[in-house]
Chain A
Amino acid sequence: MLSVLIWIPILSAIVIGFLPGKAIPASRIRLVCLTVAGIVLLWNLFILLKFDISNPGMQFTEYLPWNETLGLSYQLGVDGLSILMLILNSLLTWIAIYSTDKETERPRLFYSLILFVSGGVAGAFLAENLLLFFLFYELELIPFYLLISIWGGEKRSYAGIKFLIYTAVSGALILATFLGMVFLTGSTSFAFDAISTQTLSAGLQFVLLMGIILGFGIKIPLVPFHTWLPDAYVEASAPIAILLGGVLAKLGTYGLLRFGLGMFPDAWSVVAPNLAIWGAISAIYGSVIAIAQKDIKRMVAYSSIGHMGYVLLASASSTALALVGAVAQMFSHGLILAILFHLVGVIEAKVGTRELEKLNGLMSPIRGLPLISALLVLSGMASAGIPGLTGFVAEFIVFQGSFSAFPLPTLLCVASSGLTAVYFVILLNRTCFGKLDSNSAYYPKVLWSEKIPALVLAVLIIFLGIQPTWLVRWSEPTTTAMVATITPRETTIVSQVVLK
């Protein structure tokens, strides 16, 4: 059942890539890809319907032996942590394909790479074997590199290489840690359930956990390792930015939760205070830098750094509520970032600039882009944490859950949430409000087909903001079970450290 999610996209990517005949128009390939992505999305929703919410463990498991020498097996499963990420992946893939330009150059390569990436990401979320996870994780590397550096902005070549090197380093760190985890615990297989790190000494657990945090911290990204992000997000075209920010960043936080918190609960609770502060710094840093930006895409890119900081704070607190909040924040950040990047892409396509200095008065009902501006206002509010929208729900759960554990970092994050409102007001003020320049303002009309993705996302954002149970119910049992593995040991470990 789960294999479908991986293999339909990948196989259709291969078919599209190698299809004979040169002159297939881009629009037809796009249509085929939309169908494939739609089927995957429907299948994913079907799995969501079948998903047993009360079961905290892995569901729909699949197992095939693969390579015993390496301890690599084809082992899939889905639980509360990953189910929402899967949905996010297939939804955003569909939206990204939908929002591509109909006249893309080299369409076959473009669409097959997008489908390939989508299958790979689904594989990483589903994998129940460390090596299999790593395989799917590294599978993203080259397709994304090509997607950025072929169909990007002016500095795409630099941005692509930077992305490639950072991600490759992250992969190397993660692989080293995985090898260490499996070998030091004396396990013969890389399967998740075969590894128990409890037997390791505290120092060793700490070293391995640092490998995990650094490796995934590059991907999330956390503050000192984030410098690839503005370049990659800004230089990538809008659909690719949606995939990069919406899906790929989630791979980092998912990895942190699954392998950091899930496999080293003891060491995690020791480093948690530092992580919380780190998350708060990340959040503040992202917001402050975003205020200084003159380019709306860069602003959105830095807002992503800020919002991922909340996820780190919540994972660090690791109370049952905070973890639910972390998953909810990952999901809603995916939705909000996707709609923002889509709208920014539309504005750039119609107006021809992303500069704050040049944009003005897009709210104007006749000659401006009224609906796009309205949606931009809505999504800016969602990002800044205004009640009634999904961003607020997620952030509130995060803050509520983290306050009891780490009050000061939580307050800092609340402050950063306020700063988010500041730079989004700046953004909205400069772009949507004011007067149109009557000499240059002859913008092409926004087609209905270009509004649909944003409308779909906006409806989802509002719906989940009003009815948040649909956001949190999936992950509750799993995260509660994860917390249950931590709490009893927390006191003992802390006391040991104190005694030392």
Chain B
Amino acid sequence: MDFANLASQLNTGTILPEGIVIITLLGVLIVDLILGRTSSRWIAYLAIAGLLAATVALYFQWDTTNPISFTGSFNGDDLSIVFRGIIALSAAVTILMSIRYIEQSGTALAEFIAILLSATLGGMFLSGASELVMIFISLETLSISSYLLTGYTKRDPRSNEAALKYLLIGASSTAVFLYGVSLLYGLSGGQTELGAIANGIANANAGQSLGLVIALVFVIAGIGFKISAAPFHQWTPDVYEGAPTPVIAFLSVGSKAAGFALAIRLLTTAFPLVAEEWKFVFTALAVLSMILGNVVALAQTSMKRMLAYSSIAQAGFVMIGMIAGTQAGYASMIFYLLVYLFMNLCGFTCIILFSLRTGTDQIAEYSGLYQKDPLLTLGLSISLLSLGGIPPLAGFFGKIYLFWAGWQAGLYWLVLLGLVTSVVSIYYYIRVVKMMVVKEPQEMSDVVKNYPEVRWDLPGLRPLQVGLVMTLIATTIAGVLSNPLFTLANNSISHTPMLEATLVKTTQVSAIAPEQSEGL
């Protein structure tokens, strides 16, 4: 193999965005090593600039003619670009949030950013990984960084407990995932590349064999852990409650997006033979997640725990698009994850701001906030209502598209369940809005009575404000002006050759529909 051939097979240009993130990571670490704490004034901006540069680099890779790189280990197709963009953006907003929070907790910012960037790196590589070892390594990069971030505020016992719990559950689910992956390697007769695995299994006539089903279930257990689908969700409430709030903002958006990217790539490419089976398993997961997440969230008294259950439920909604398996289904997933990025990060920014000023997360303590801090009230109300799917906010359009795609694919019961549980979710989202907006001045909580004067000029609060306003505006108008996002989501699916073979054609479904309708 001559050098030119090797270079074209390596095709290193595709990982330019990740390269930028790595350089930023090293830069952050080295600067901190040399300058120490004094660098923390601007080091966060360096990291944000790096992440934005990576996003710009992603933009230039859109529709690249030759996405396969590193001899099949990494696939830089449009699908991966969208997911890598979501992860990079969520990390950028997370850094905006964490400057003040981490400083206030008395820990080092540079280390935090370095770990966060490596988690980002893991997520971005996971979005495009198309080889088993590569998948495992990037998954573990993401996971180990997440464990470290979870326990970062190490003087807080809850943070310690959360980290330990997360590590235990995460490590065992990784082990299960690894077992499933090793089964795949064996079943396919020694292939590690996803496409080759599918061919290998088909050639070995192992289609729908017991081994393949076991491998599938084990792999889904690993994925379900990352996207916190019930019944693999138990870590979520505890980790969300214990971990530093910016960390869970990243876990709820970036880590979840990485999990969905892995789910799409792995299941559609490596398991086309058992598509019915994994759709069935995911249907069960979606039903459980929607019911459990939405119903249990009703009873929460802590804001972070409430959002933990809500994020479980949101994962259930997103899975509808995945189960549909049509082009619209995948596109609606991506669109929902995009708007979920805005609304969830907006919500978490408000929660961070509130806990920075008052030091509490209890929902009851929010009462009467509108008088003291209107911007925070507006931001949290808009983001929660958007999560609940109220028009004309972004979440409404996201849910409509998910339900529409689900309905087109014939998932009537799932869509109806989604609608019903959305109604339930409106109740617990509006409860917080009620606390903040509806409560009278005399019903104000003690914490709000002693609310400090709203100031943005303290170090690290200005970026928080910028992040809040940007995500707030995006949440408000991304629904009404959603055409560019819709185009992005649709193109990312239709330009991805990997998915084409596995897409359930909509025409086939509608051909079946009249027969079903006569059955009614």
Q: Which residues of A contact B (CB under 8 A)?
A: 66-67, 69-70, 109, 131, 135-136, 138-139, 141-142, 145-146, 149-150, 157, 160-161, 164-165, 168-169, 171-172, 175-176, 179-180, 183-184, 186, 200-201, 203-204, 207
Given that A138-B391, A201-B517 are contacting pairs, would A70 and B400 also be in contact in the complex, using a CB cutoff of 8 Å?
yes
Which residue in chain A gives the minimum CB-CB distance to B403?
A179
Given that A180-B407, A204-B520 are contacting pairs, would A165 and B391 also be in contact in the complex, using a CB cutoff of 8 Å?
no
Distance, CA A161 to CA B434, complexed state (A): 10
Task: Check B510 for interface membership: any CB of A closer than 8 A.
Answer: yes
If A161-B430, A165-B426, A168-B422 are given as contacts, then 7 extra A-B residue pairs at C-beta distance below 8 Å, sorted by A number, are: A69-B490, A70-B404, A70-B486, A109-B437, A135-B391, A165-B423, A179-B415
CB-CB nearest 7 A-B residue pairs: A172-B419, A168-B423, A179-B407, A135-B391, A69-B486, A138-B391, A204-B517
Which residue of the partner chain, among A150, A175, A186, contacts B437 with CB atoms under 8 Å?
A150
* Pairwise interchain contact B520-A175, C-beta atoms closer than 8 A: no
* Pairwise interchain contact A201-B392, C-beta atoms closer than 8 A: no
Distance, CA A171 to CA B404, complexed state (A): 15
Distance from B493 Cβ to chain A, minimum over Cβ atoms (Å)? 11
**Chain B 398-429: CB-based contact to A (< 8 A → 1; otherwise 0):** 00110110011000100110011011001100
Distance, CA A207 to CA B513, complexed state (A): 15
* Pairwise interchain contact B483-A172, C-beta atoms closer than 8 A: no
The CB with the most chain A CB atoms within 10 A, among B392, B412, B430, B486, is that of B430
Given that A149-B438, A183-B408 are contacting pairs, would A203 and B520 also be in contact in the complex, using a CB cutoff of 8 Å?
yes
Pairs A–B under 8 Å by Cβ, sample size 16 = A69-B331, A70-B404, A131-B400, A135-B391, A145-B430, A161-B430, A165-B423, A165-B426, A175-B400, A175-B419, A179-B407, A184-B513, A184-B517, A186-B510, A200-B517, A203-B517
Distance, CA A135 to CA B513, complexed state (A): 27
Distance from B513 Cβ to chain A, minimum over Cβ atoms (Å)? 7
* Pairwise interchain contact A139-B437, C-beta atoms closer than 8 A: no
Task: Check B11 for interface membership: any CB of A closer than 8 A.
Answer: no
Given that A146-B437, A176-B416 are contacting pairs, would A138 and B390 also be in contact in the complex, using a CB cutoff of 8 Å?
yes
Residues of A near B396 (CB, < 8 A) are 135, 138
Distance, CA A66 to CA B482, complexed state (A): 9
* Pairwise interchain contact B520-A207, C-beta atoms closer than 8 A: yes
Residues of B near A160 (CB, < 8 A) are 434, 438
Given that A69-B490, A172-B423 are contacting pairs, would A149 and B434 also be in contact in the complex, using a CB cutoff of 8 Å?
yes
Task: Check B83 for interface membership: any CB of A closer than 8 A.
Answer: no
* Pairwise interchain contact B404-A157, C-beta atoms closer than 8 A: no
Distance, CA A175 to CA B403, complexed state (A): 10
Task: Check B518 for interface membership: any CB of A closer than 8 A.
Answer: yes
Distance, CA A330 to CA B408, complexed state (A): 36
Residues of A near B419 (CB, < 8 A) are 172, 175-176
Distance, CA A2 to CA B9, complexed state (A): 60
The CB with the most chain B CB atoms within 10 A, among A131, A161, A184, A203, is that of A184
Residues of B near A201 (CB, < 8 A) are 517-518, 520
**Chain B 375-411: CB-based contact to A (< 8 A → 1; otherwise 0):** 0000000000100001110001100110110011000
Residues of A near B517 (CB, < 8 A) are 184, 200-201, 203-204
* Pairwise interchain contact B420-A172, C-beta atoms closer than 8 A: yes
* Pairwise interchain contact A146-B438, C-beta atoms closer than 8 A: yes
Distance, CA A444 to CA B74, complexed state (A): 81
* Pairwise interchain contact B401-A70, C-beta atoms closer than 8 A: yes
Distance, CA A438 to CA B397, complexed state (A): 61
Distance, CA A49 to CA B404, complexed state (A): 40
Which residue in chain B gives the minimum CB-CB distance to A183?
B407
Distance from A280 Cβ to chain B, minimum over Cβ atoms (Å)? 30
Distance from B431 Cβ to chain A, minimum over Cβ atoms (Å)? 9
Distance, CA A175 to CA B510, complexed state (A): 20
Residues of B near A67 (CB, < 8 A) are 397, 482-483, 486
* Pairwise interchain contact B403-A168, C-beta atoms closer than 8 A: no
Residues of A near B430 (CB, < 8 A) are 142, 145, 161, 164
Distance, CA A160 to CA B430, complexed state (A): 11
Distance, CA A161 to CA B438, complexed state (A): 12
Distance from B439 Cβ to chain A, minimum over Cβ atoms (Å)? 9
Distance, CA A35 to CA B328, complexed state (A): 46
Distance from B517 Cβ to chain A, minimum over Cβ atoms (Å)? 5
* Pairwise interchain contact B415-A157, C-beta atoms closer than 8 A: no
**Chain B 324-339: CB-based contact to A (< 8 A → 1; otherwise 0):** 0000100100000000
Interface residues of B in 234-257 (CB under 8 A from A): none
The CB with the most chain A CB atoms within 10 A, among B385, B426, B518, is that of B426
Distance from A129 Cβ to chain B, minimum over Cβ atoms (Å)? 13
Which residue in chain A gives the minimum CB-CB distance to B510?
A186
**Chain B 486-516: CB-based contact to A (< 8 A → 1; otherwise 0):** 1000100000000000000000001001000
* Pairwise interchain contact B437-A165, C-beta atoms closer than 8 A: no
Given that A69-B486, A141-B390, A180-B407 are contacting pairs, would A165 and B427 also be in contact in the complex, using a CB cutoff of 8 Å?
yes
Residues of B near A145 (CB, < 8 A) are 430
Which residue in chain A gives the minimum CB-CB distance to B420?
A172
Which residue in chain B gives the minimum CB-CB distance to A66?
B483
Distance from A350 Cβ to chain B, minimum over Cβ atoms (Å)? 25
Distance, CA A164 to CA B423, complexed state (A): 9
* Pairwise interchain contact B438-A70, C-beta atoms closer than 8 A: no
Residues of A near B482 (CB, < 8 A) are 67
Interface residues of B in 450-509 (CB under 8 A from A): 482-483, 486, 490
Residues of B near A180 (CB, < 8 A) are 407, 412
Distance, CA A201 to CA B397, complexed state (A): 30
Which residue of the partner chain, among B392, B438, B510, contacts A150 with CB atoms under 8 Å?
B438
Distance, CA A110 to CA B234, complexed state (A): 42
Residues of A near B518 (CB, < 8 A) are 201, 203
Distance from A187 Cβ to chain B, minimum over Cβ atoms (Å)? 11
* Pairwise interchain contact B426-A139, C-beta atoms closer than 8 A: no
Distance, CA A240 to CA B385, complexed state (A): 22
Distance from B475 Cβ to chain A, minimum over Cβ atoms (Å)? 14
Distance from B411 Cβ to chain A, minimum over Cβ atoms (Å)? 11
Distance from B317 Cβ to chain A, minimum over Cβ atoms (Å)? 14
Distance from B162 Cβ to chain A, minimum over Cβ atoms (Å)? 33
Which residue in chain B gives the minimum CB-CB distance to A106?
B370
* Pairwise interchain contact A179-B404, C-beta atoms closer than 8 A: yes
**Chain B 13-56: CB-based contact to A (< 8 A → 1; otherwise 0):** 00000000000000000000000000000000000000000000
* Pairwise interchain contact A164-B427, C-beta atoms closer than 8 A: yes
Residues of A near B433 (CB, < 8 A) are 142
Which residue of the partner chain, among B390, B397, B422, contacts A70 with CB atoms under 8 Å?
B397
Which residue of the partner chain, among B328, B392, B420, contacts A139 with CB atoms under 8 Å?
B392
Which residue of the partner chain, among A141, A176, A184, contacts B415 with CB atoms under 8 Å?
A176
Distance, CA A135 to CA B422, complexed state (A): 15
Distance from A261 Cβ to chain B, minimum over Cβ atoms (Å)? 22
Distance, CA A146 to CA B385, complexed state (A): 13
Distance, CA A273 to CA B426, complexed state (A): 36
Distance, CA A175 to CA B416, complexed state (A): 10
Distance, CA A443 to CA B252, complexed state (A): 60
Residues of B near A150 (CB, < 8 A) are 437-438
Residues of B near A161 (CB, < 8 A) are 427, 430
Distance from B82 Cβ to chain A, minimum over Cβ atoms (Å)? 16
The CB with the most chain B CB atoms within 10 A, among A145, A160, A183, A200, is that of A183
Residues of B near A157 (CB, < 8 A) are 434, 438
Distance, CA A200 to CA B513, complexed state (A): 11
Residues of A near B390 (CB, < 8 A) are 138, 141-142
Distance, CA A70 to CA B422, complexed state (A): 19
Interface residues of B in 135-166 (CB under 8 A from A): none
Residues of A near B510 (CB, < 8 A) are 183, 186
Distance, CA A191 to CA B130, complexed state (A): 42
Distance from A207 Cβ to chain B, minimum over Cβ atoms (Å)? 6
Residues of A near B422 (CB, < 8 A) are 168, 172
Which residue of the partner chain, among A69, A142, A176, A183, contacts B385 with CB atoms under 8 Å?
A142
Residues of B near A176 (CB, < 8 A) are 415-416, 419
Distance, CA A149 to CA B430, complexed state (A): 12
Distance, CA A157 to CA B513, complexed state (A): 45
Which residue in chain A gives the minimum CB-CB distance to B486?
A69
Distance from A422 Cβ to chain B, minimum over Cβ atoms (Å)? 38
Distance, CA A179 to CA B486, complexed state (A): 19
